[in-house]
Chain A
Amino acid sequence: MMQHQAFDWVSVAIFVGSALVLLAAILAYAYSHLLAADAESLAQLRAEGLLTGDPQRDFRTLNQLLSGIAPAVSMRTEYWVLFYAAAVRLTTVFGARAWVEVQMRRLVSHQALRYCYAQSSLAAMSAYSSDSPDF
């Protein structure tokens, strides 16, 4: 304790509050990335038979696919996606299954969109590498 002060309850409250807010803010940061996702890519991949409709399984499949082509297109699965998915799974302990389902679908949509962009980037890059003499 600082010797010139009595026990500072305001500082204790700020210390505990800021730790909680830090965790919430990281989750909010992760959540804000999911807003760009749409259902179009998801529907496309479902039509191709790549996805089953089970969000947990689809999420794993898309992660594996992205990790397969990641070195080529610089689109690795970001840590915040994995962190958010882990946090969402953790909330099943509290029984919020409907919310978990919605969030997992959001994550799958996001990963599906990234996978589609990764595929198009890969095609563009392959074309570039075949054209480029110094590749």
Chain B
Amino acid sequence: MHWSLGFLLFAAGTVVKFAACVYAFIRTRMKYLSVKIWFALLFAQDLLYWFFLLKFGPNSYAYAVVYFWADFITLFLGLIIVIRLAETSFRKAQIQIPYFRAGAMAILGGIGVLSFVATFQKLAVAPHHVHALIVLGNKLEQNAAAAGMLASVLLFIALTVLLVPGARVRRIVAGFAILYSCSALPMSAVQIFGFQMANLVPWFAMFDLAFLGYAISEPENLDQLRPRKLAARRFQPHRLEPARELLGKAGA
């Protein structure tokens, strides 16, 4: 197997997913469990990719189908989690939006149908080597990512405008918006410029997962931070001199 930069990035992305997942589970215990389970699912998805990649190779049909469809399925499940987060936050703030879940599901269904129709309309003039399942998977992934991106941004605006309490839920929603826009950007680049743009995916995946992992694991308030033994071992009193000088000037 040829280990190019893309493969190494992909491997690094898998390691980042695992580390972020473990870190999120350790730091926050049972809070936002659905988000953390989804994170674990992302890691499982990477393991599935590696299995197909090593068994069938990067240019195989099986790997291509698994690659796009597994990504679409996890993005879709992520959308359901965003809807669930919105419901929970609004319920906590005693805000009721009628038909919220039904409306959201109808929109998601609509996106699926539109992607299906748009793809198969174009495939009528496609050469035979472009398989319908791969193109449809790519299109669905792009559209689901775009829908997730817009849903996350709208939810963040709604949380801010309706003064729903909670800093961490905002960070997680913003993290989802980053994740979906980072998925939509390379996928739409693939649609516009061709499949060589798929090399962008691992870079964006590492960036967005680091953001989301940090958003989940970071405490709600600063007062939950505690000095750690490791930090105490790195304590360097001479590094405090600039601060002392500044304080002296301010006092004078």
Binding site for B on A (CB under 8 A): 1-6, 8, 10-12, 14-15, 17-19, 21-22, 24-26, 28-29, 31-33, 35-36, 48-50, 61, 64-65, 67-75, 113-114, 117, 121-122, 124-126, 128-129, 132, 135
Contacts and interface: CB of A to CB of B under 8 A. Distances in A.
B152 A25 contact: yes
Interface string B185-220: 101110111110000000000000001000100001
Given A35-B170, A65-B243, A126-B235, 17 more contacts: A4-B127, A4-B135, A10-B118, A12-B188, A14-B184, A22-B181, A28-B177, A29-B211, A32-B174, A48-B250, A50-B247, A68-B246, A71-B234, A71-B235, A72-B240, A73-B227, A121-B226
Contacts of B153: 21, 24-25, 28
Contact of B149 (A21, A33, A68, A124): A21
Contact of A29 (B125, B174, B187): B174
Task: Give the interface SS of chain A, mostly helix, strand, loop or mixed.
Answer: helix
B233 A135 contact: yes
A32 B188 contact: no
A29 B225 contact: no
Given A21-B153, A50-B247, A113-B222, A14 B182 contact: no
B234 A28 contact: no
B142 interface: yes
Q: Is the interface of B mostly helix, strand, loop or mixed?
A: helix
Contacts, number: 170
Query: Which range contains the number of B residues in contact with the other chain?
Result: 35 or more
Contacts of B2: none
Contact of A68 (B142, B221, B240): B240
A2 B122 CA distance: 12
A8 B191 contact: yes
A28 B156 contact: yes
